[in-house]
Structure 1
Amino acid sequence: MNFPKLFALGAVLLIAQGCQINAKLESNSPAPQVAASVPAETAAKDAFLQVGEMKRGVNVLSEDPGWTDASKARFKPEYFKKIHDAGFSTVRIVLNAFSHMDDYYVLETGYLARLDTMVKAGLDAGLNVILDEHDFNYCSKDTWSCRQKLNAFWAQVAPRYKDASNRLIFEVLNEPHEAFTPEMWNDQIKQTLPIIRASNPTRNVIIGPGFWNSAAYLDKLDLPVPDRHIIVTYHYYAPMEFTHQGSPWVPQYKLTGQNWGSAADLAQLNKDFDVVKAWSNKWNRPILLGEFGAYETAPMDGRLRYTDAVARAAEARGFAWAYWQFDKDFIVYDIAKDQWVEPILNALIPPAAAK
């Protein structure tokens, strides 16, 4: 019987139940060297102030082979400086961590070391860094296992970075949906947030509504009112018939040839964003538009209009935003050519705004 790993699993489960113990999981690998360079960067930061500093972001490292084998990585640490120098303020690091857990939910040492490297490189580049647990598809099918793994993930990751800069932000889970109902998600928040707060009482944490982080489900989101270090996120890909046409993972949206940019399109966008702004005002919660974009097979002229309009609509309402994504699909950076996709970049960040 593997007693060390059984003890580690017990530590995870006890933490998840709110017990005050020193989790042996933290000894899984050496403590990371990602502490803040100045004491002020460890101080509590107002969530609205943080959103104001996050401004413009981009999602990175989605399904990157480097998580398993660094020699095969698409994304390299030096890209963080390129991202910063292009005018971005934030990166959202996409983490599919469940596949890097053993049978006892303990994260691989190599995976944690790779994560340390990315966190440090992002912070050193002057960026805000979001750690986004992104196993949403797994969680939509096997909710029981997902909930155990999600608690185990944060029981290991949150204390690991308890002394890191306040520019490091945690996002509990991306896009809960299907079997992971909004009601179940609210219950999960009540479990997982205390695990994070045990070691990071004032770090800003990102939480979105159920049903794919849909703005339509904001009214169903149940957050702890006294906790003011929460940033609320939503994702926006409407209309899917335009943004996802030709994408292989949603074959119902075939190549429609639908374009975007009419007065009616813009009016609908503003109406949708006004709903989020009204909710933000009502509940006094800052907002991150955590994902948006239009797939490569949509007409390029419409993609540019859409990308620009969504980013400007978010900025006009005081929301931070993060474009989906740096590379792989919806790309703003062509790794093969080692250059920005200038039309998309300029739609996101007009050249004058990047200076």
Structure 2
Amino acid sequence: MISIRKVLALGVLAAALALPAAARELSPKAQVAAMKRGVNVLGYDPLWQDPAKARFQLDRHFQILKAGGFDTVRVNLQAFAHMDADSRLDPAWLATLDKVVEQALAAKLTVILDEHDFNVCEADPVACKPRLTAFWAQVAERYKAAPDQVVFELLNEPSRKLDDVWNAWIPDLLATIRATNPTRNVIVGPGQWNSLHRLADLKLPKADRHLIVTFHYYDPFPFTHQGASWADPVPPVGTSWGTPDEHARIDKDFDAVAAWAKAERRPVLLGEFGAYDKGPMDSRVAYTQAVARSAEAHGFAWAYWQFESDFNVYDVDADQWIAPIHDALIPAK
């Protein structure tokens, strides 16, 4: 397999030959337009502990995703477990990440590197910040020559104890990245688990125009998380969705996001949405389709949660799409 260093070097060389230097950076608006339709991948795959046990086969499944109509993968990285006492990332873990990036780029997918240790960070922000800073220092340096199709996301769903400090952290984390990636597009979202209702509280450096704002959407929660064991309390199974008012609620919520984005001149990624697989399939399909189409109508890129597991769009064991969910996300032309 060609090394990530060679892939990145070839990509940079091709870009240099094709475009003048001033034109080689991708605007966040153009990045969102290219992202289009995405899916979250690899967050809980055994790949990260032992590549030989991976369920997600990099050389196959990225190609399957591209052929299935997707443009982007949001790679959910739980990197803190792969750091030593000095916050240095395990070389073996980094080698696996290189292969993920290589294969996703080879499939012509945009790759979002999403640091997903939100549970660790919300529990202990004081311990989190130096590790999060160290993560971005190492990853930003490693991928500084990567093509524009590699995008960074500061932290998934800051919440709870992070809500009061997140705005203060953003410029510090961005400074770490900008030291090596001055014009790479970076994704950042508000507190309260990237809630659209906290967009008004999000404070971004006004001079940094290479930012994409993200939010996550799981409303109404009693429907999208029915039967989810980690919810407290667990919403009862059997809740349906699809009334005219419920459809209208999505459009109203996304109208508010679009108005904020226009006022702030920030393009938008809907980074997660979906409905747990214990809900009625017809309602899950209707909801998935409604959210995806409304996001597109509002000019947002989107990334469905998730490739496999419990909100899944693909059955890895059967090696096939879960057709009703896939077709709701990617309608036939």
Provide, for residues 225-261 of structure 1, a one-character-per-residue CA deviation record: whole Å limited to 9, x for no partner.
1111100000000000000000111141332421111
Candidates 118, 142, 162, aligned match of 1:160: 142
Alpha-carbon shift at residue 74 of structure 1 (Å): 1.1
User: What SS does structure 2 have at the residue aligned with 1:351?
Assistant: coil
User: What SS does structure 2 have at the residue aligned with 1:116?
Assistant: helix
Residue in structure 2 matched with residue 22 of structure 1 by the alignment:
none
Alpha-carbon shift at residue 31 of structure 1 (Å): 7.4
Candidates 164, 171, 175, aligned match of 1:190: 171
CA contact (8 A) 2:214 2:269 kept: yes
Residue in structure 2 matched with residue 248 of structure 1 by the alignment:
229
Residue 92, structure 1, aligned to residue 77, structure 2: no
Provide, for residues 25-62 of structure 1, a one-character-per-residue CA deviation record: whole Å limited to 9, x for no partner.
xxxxx974441522159921011011011000000001
Residue in structure 2 matched with residue 131 of structure 1 by the alignment:
113
Candidates 26, 35, 40, aligned match of 1:59: 40
Residue in structure 1 matched with residue 84 of structure 2 by the alignment:
102
User: What SS does structure 2 have at the residue aligned with 1:191?
Assistant: helix
Residue 205, structure 1, aligned to residue 186, structure 2: yes
Give TM-score scaled by structure 2 length.
0.94
User: Partners of 2:169 and 2:36 in 1: how far apart?
Assistant: 28
Provide, for residues 297-344 of structure 1, a one-character-per-residue CA deviation record: whole Å limited to 9, x for no partner.
111110000000000000001000000000122000100001111110
User: Partners of 2:149 and 2:29 in 1: how far apart?
Assistant: 13
CA contact (8 A) 1:206 1:230 kept: yes
User: Partners of 1:269 and 1:339 in 2: how far apart?
Assistant: 30
User: Partners of 2:144 and 2:69 in 1: how far apart?
Assistant: 28
User: What SS does structure 1 have at the residue aligned with 2:157?
Assistant: coil
Residue in structure 2 matched with residue 122 of structure 1 by the alignment:
104
Letter in 2 for 1:259: S
User: Partners of 1:137 and 1:98 in 2: how far apart?
Assistant: 11
RMSD: 1.3
State, as a whole percentage, how many aligned pairs show the same letter: 52
CA contact (8 A) 2:4 2:99 kept: no
CA contact (8 A) 1:47 1:230 kept: yes
CA contact (8 A) 1:101 1:108 kept: yes
Residue in structure 2 matched with residue 313 of structure 1 by the alignment:
294
Residue 47, structure 1, aligned to residue 28, structure 2: yes
- TM-aligned CA distance change 1:33 to 1:112, over 3 Å: farther
Aligned positions of 1:149-298 closer than 5 A: 149-181=131-163, 183-298=164-279
Candidates 94, 99, 102, aligned match of 1:112: 94
Provide, for residues 239-294 of structure 1, a one-character-per-residue CA deviation record: whole Å limited to 9, x for no partner.
00000000111141332421111001011111111110000110010000000000
- TM-aligned CA distance change 1:108 to 1:32, over 3 Å: farther
User: Partners of 2:4 and 2:308 in 1: how far apart?
Assistant: 30
Residue in structure 2 matched with residue 141 of structure 1 by the alignment:
123
User: What SS does structure 1 have at the residue aligned with 2:75?
Assistant: strand
CA contact (8 A) 2:225 2:276 kept: yes
Alpha-carbon shift at residue 115 of structure 1 (Å): 0.1
Letter in 1 for 2:79: A
Residue in structure 2 matched with residue 334 of structure 1 by the alignment:
315
CA contact (8 A) 1:236 1:292 kept: yes
User: What SS does structure 2 have at the residue aligned with 1:179?
Assistant: helix
CA contact (8 A) 1:231 1:288 kept: yes
Give TM-score scaled by structure 1 length.
0.89
User: What SS does structure 2 have at the residue aligned with 1:232?
Assistant: strand
User: Partners of 1:245 and 1:215 in 2: how far apart?
Assistant: 21
CA contact (8 A) 2:4 2:102 kept: no
User: What SS does structure 1 have at the residue aligned with 2:160?
Assistant: coil
Candidates 271, 281, 286, aligned match of 1:300: 281
User: Partners of 2:303 and 2:235 in 1: how far apart?
Assistant: 26
Residue 71, structure 1, aligned to residue 59, structure 2: no
User: What SS does structure 2 have at the residue aligned with 1:254?
Assistant: coil
Letter in 2 for 1:244: H
User: Partners of 1:48 and 1:253 in 2: how far apart?
Assistant: 39
Letter in 1 for 2:65: I
User: Partners of 1:138 and 1:91 in 2: how far apart?
Assistant: 23
CA contact (8 A) 1:91 1:322 kept: yes
